[in-house]
Structure 1
Amino acid sequence: MKLKQYDACISCCDQALAVINRFHTNNDAWISLRKIEALIELDRTADAKATLEHLLQRPARHWKMDMLGYRIAVMEHDEDAALKYIEEAALLDPNHGMRVQFYEETASFLNEAGHERMAMLQYHLVDLLREENGWKIRPHHVAGKIPEDIAAMDKPATLRELREFWRAQRDKDKVFLEGQVKKILPSGRNGFIDAADGKSYYFSFADVQSGRKHLAEGSSVRFTLAKRMDRKKNCLSDNAVEITVEQK
């Protein structure tokens, strides 16, 4: 990748994924991410998108998957998909300092897409994060300056307004279900949810977004569905994801 030998990078990634049977933690995901990056550099958008869609079938998700999804969506001029990837990445975990460059990159997109206030809030969040970590604050390449009311906001207030926007964009086309945790498997990392629609859905603890420490058999939960690979059956099936545990 550093030498910009993108075809060789793709070949190395494919070879590793083909011959290595077992990876430490999620290193196969990182190899796939490198492959997607190389495909994007070669403007092989369809191949990059197909590789990403396969990667997103895994239970573990990292914000860099959504970052690359955003870049693919921009290449395809798919504004709705780009917005959803921005919000998925932003809401995945609270480590916002890791996403400073991504927030800068996507703020300009939000500005051009007509979400000027959200763009300015993201730029302001970048400034707050840089100041918090002692990093250099850089000028923003947007028309005009950050409005005074936004510039006066602290980090919690900035994140509060941004999260409301991020969630609205991420969830606007999703259907959420309610149910109860039927069983947690002996590994303590996954289990099954009985939904109000009468069906039972497999879930991974990696997909619990809120209230994980309160999750137990009998817990009431709210969730949506996503297609994931069932390795035992070797087919895609509906899994419970984006799980919120309802606390009493």
Structure 2
Amino acid sequence: MRRPSMTRHEESAPQSRPGAPTLLITAGPTQEPIDAVRYLGNRSSGRLGIALAEAASAKGWRTILLLGPTPRRCEDTQVEVHRFRTTAELGALLEAHWPEVDALVMAAAVADFRPATTESGEEAGAIDPGEHKIRRRGGALTIHLEPTPDLLARCAETRRPGQTIVGFALEPRERMLESARAKLERKGADMIVANPLETMDAETIEATLVRRGGEEEQTPGAMGKGEFAEWLLERIAQESSERRRG
């Protein structure tokens, strides 16, 4: 398996404010290889997760960003950045960093399925992608998919007291809140950001924050993603502070 890229900003050492929480953010898409040149992916840009990381760092939080295969970069040199490509690589990074942080924001668009085998029995997702390419031939090609590990639920299962988990639910507007409420309970998160599908390619975001206990809070209309990052961080800081106090 390809190792995650461990690229930490070296220009200056992280300077966190004393007493500030440590925040772990995932951002961007995953790419699940079909063969050496093809993959299953999605259109996530990672823009929102990067905005959250930069805003948190500006507040003096120690911030770790796990960033998927996107051309976008985090420009704040105080943010510790690690790159991943696949769900498995992201899972390994979460396993390494989740125990040390106070809060997790799962803003990455993680694949629900990955290639397992083709109709000929070739292991599409498990092969060495550098040595294999599925050749064009007559007739259809069937690629079987298997579920990826549920990383958010796994983090909830291994959390220690005082840790906060924030997830996202990207759904059609008409079932957005219903899906977020169900995901909150199913995954064991503390908060779910419910946002409509059109958010993915937009400059702005209009969302509803769903909390445990049934509290729901809407953004004051559409917000730029940088502005929304500030809005969400205020609420994460409050939740994290309450949880760390016990």
Do they superpose with TM above 0.5? no
Q: With a CA cutoff of 8 Å and minimum separation of 6, indicate the structure with the bigger relative contact order.
A: 2
Scaled by the length of structure 1, the TM-score of the pair is 0.26
**Which of the two has greater helix per residue?**
1
Is the radius of gyration larger for structure 1 or structure 2? 1
